[in-house]
């Protein structure tokens, strides 16, 4: 780059331009940051009128929604955390580097799938299917982890040539057909098992023996669907944290005689613990705020029930349904904005916590890397 040749007479003009542009950028930047800040201010301002009305009414309206939100998020996390962390551990510690550069973006693509699409599949396709095949669905949940263990067992017993052909570092890929086969087997066997042990119909049994109602769109469905949506965000962050653990640490532990399990549990997980914690936090924030999936897969009944087979109504879904109809300035309007404020504060706090923890962790890794 050759600097433009300028006569000295244009010098003041350039300086003026520079001054003006700097001012404009500053004004624009500060303006944008203020606009972002305005979100919080607006939400707080609009909830102030709530102080005038009784506390009990707001509580009566919001507590089922808060319960529904927690229940949905919990169901999603119960499904997402084991799968996401398992996937993160595998791809950070075992997967071959070549496979990893392909698989990681593919899993992160999952995050891009719009909530409406997941909600539609869950609410209109998955929910009726699970209602008709409840026993099969429950059997699948137990059978899939067992079949993964079975695969490991068979692999240990297999001949060394086969072991080389199907190495653990590629298992993420070649286990897919195995799991698909296991799903088919489970679906084929489950009705027999239901007939044999449960007297034909699990739903009837649940109703008669335990008095549990079964709603088509329930917490189980929401957990599966929202878990699917949350897995990639937990996976991505946890994988980053685990992959950044200095390899000298794990190798050192193994050189000192630790087994793979001990090296993972006592060294890698302990070192990356804060990173994994922040990943789970971010996942929780996402699960609490997700609107469309809960709206479409939960039935939207504001219930106080802990049963996994009943629906719920979350705060985000209630806002999406009721706010367009609420008259501005009315009580419902302010209550719903209060719900939005709660969501805002919760996710903001959770994300800040996660971010701070992550930054601290990064600094720690840098120190470890420096000393080794």
Partner 1 sequence: MKAGKVNTASRRPRFNWLNDLWPWLCAASVALSLLMLGALLALLLVRGLGHFWPATLEEVTLRSGDTFAGHAVREVELPQQAGDERLYFTGNQDIEGARWRWVTIEEIAERAQPTDLIRLERSPWGDFIGRLSAIEQDGQRWEGDAAWHRLATLLALPASQRQESQLLLTTVDGQTLRQPLASVVSAQAPNAMSWWQKTHVWGDGVWRFLSEGPRAANTDGGVWPAIFGTVLMVILMSVMVTPFGVLAAIYLNEIAHQGRLTRLVRIGVRNLAGVPSIVYGVFGLGVFVYGIGGSLDEWFFSDTLPSPTFGTGGLLWASLTLALLTLPVVIVATEEGLARIPEAQREGAVALGATRLEMLTRIVLPMAAPAMLTGVILAVARAAGEVAPLMLVGVAKLAPQMPIDGEFPYLHLERKFMHLGYHLFDTAFHGEDVQAAIPLVYATALLLVLIVLVLNLTAIFLRHYLRRQRGNEC
Our CB check for partner 1 shows the closer of 42 and 304 to be 42
Binding string, residues 290-329; x marks residues near partner 1 by CB under 8 A: xxx--xx-------------------x--xx--xx---x-
Residues 184-223 that bind partner 1 (CB under 8 A): none
Q: How far is the CB of 283 from partner 1 (least distance, A)?
A: 10
Query: Is-contact 103 91, C-beta < 8 A?
Result: yes
User: What one-character DSSP code corresponds to residue 328?
Assistant: T
Taking CB under 8 A as the criterion, the residue among 57, 98, 142, 145 binding partner 1 is 145
63 binds partner 1 (CB under 8 A): no
Token pair, residue 371, equals 């000393």
Binding string, residues 34-53; x marks residues near partner 1 by CB under 8 A: -xx-xx--xx--x-------
Closest to 70 in 3D by CA, of 277, 348, 288, 218: 288
30 binds partner 1 (CB under 8 A): yes
Token pair, residue 78, equals 């119960």
Our CB check for partner 1 shows the closer of 64 and 299 to be 299
Residues 237-256 that bind partner 1 (CB under 8 A): none
Q: How far apart are CA 331 and CA 322, in angstroms?
A: 12
Residues 95-134 that bind partner 1 (CB under 8 A): 95, 103, 105-107, 109-110, 112-121, 123-125, 132
Q: How far apart are CA 309 and CA 298, in angstroms?
A: 10
172 binds partner 1 (CB under 8 A): yes
Our CB check for partner 1 shows the closer of 27 and 57 to be 27
Name, in order, each residue with C-beta under 8 angstroms of 22's C-beta and a sequence gap of 6 or more: none
Name, in order, each residue with C-beta under 8 angstroms of 280's C-beta and a sequence gap of 6 or more: 77, 81, 234, 238
Taking CB under 8 A as the criterion, the residue among 53, 162, 179, 306 binding partner 1 is 179
| First-to-last C-alpha distance (Å) of the chain | 42
Q: How far is the CB of 54 from partner 1 (least distance, A)?
A: 23
Q: How far apart are CA 120 and CA 225, in angstroms?
A: 10
């Amino acid at each position: 780059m050759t600097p433009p040749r300028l006569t000295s007479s244009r010098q003041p003009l350039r300086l003026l331009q520079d001054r003006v542009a700097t001012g404009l950028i500053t004004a624009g930047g500060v303006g944008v940051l203020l606009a972002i800040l305005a979100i919080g201010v607006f939400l707080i301002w609009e909830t102030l009128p709530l102080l005038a009305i009784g506390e009990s009414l707001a509580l009566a309206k919001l507590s089922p929604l808060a319960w529904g939100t927690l229940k949905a998020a919990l169901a999603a996390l119960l499904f997402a955390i084991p799968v996401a962390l398992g996937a993160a551990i595998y791809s950070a510690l075992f997967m071959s580097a070549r496979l990893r550069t392909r698989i990681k973006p593919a899993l992160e693509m999952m995050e891009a799938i719009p909530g409406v699409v997941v909600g539609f599949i869950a609410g209109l396709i998955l929910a009726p299917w699970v209602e008709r095949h409840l026993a099969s669905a429950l059997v699948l949940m137990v059978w899939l982890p067992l079949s993964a263990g079975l695969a490991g067992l068979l692999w240990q017993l297999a001949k060394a040539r086969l072991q080389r052909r199907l190495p653990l570092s590629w298992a993420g890929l070649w286990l897919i057909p195995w799991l698909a086969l296991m799903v088919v087997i489970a679906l084929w066997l489950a009705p027999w098992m239901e007939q044999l042990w449960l007297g034909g119909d699990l739903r009837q049994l649940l109703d008669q023996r335990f008095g549990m109602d079964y709603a088509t769109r329930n917490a189980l469905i929401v957990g599966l669907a929202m878990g699917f949506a949350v897995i990639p965000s937990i996976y991505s962050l946890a994988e980053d944290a685990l992959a950044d653990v200095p390899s000298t640490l794990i190798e050192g532990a193994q050189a000192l005689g630790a087994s793979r399990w001990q090296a993972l549990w006592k060294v890698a997980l302990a070192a990356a613990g804060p990173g994994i914690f922040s990943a789970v936090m971010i996942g929780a924030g996402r699960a609490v705020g997700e609107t469309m999936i809960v709206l479409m897969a939960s039935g939207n009944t504001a219930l106080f029930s802990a049963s996994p087979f009943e629906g719920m109504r979350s705060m985000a879904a209630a806002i999406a349904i009721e706010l367009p109809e609420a008259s501005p300035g009315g009580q419902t309007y302010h209550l719903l904005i209060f719900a939005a404020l709660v969501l805002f504060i919760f996710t903001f706090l959770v994300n800040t916590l996660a971010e701070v923890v992550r930054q601290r962790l990064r600094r720690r890794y840098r120190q470890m890397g420096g000393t080794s």
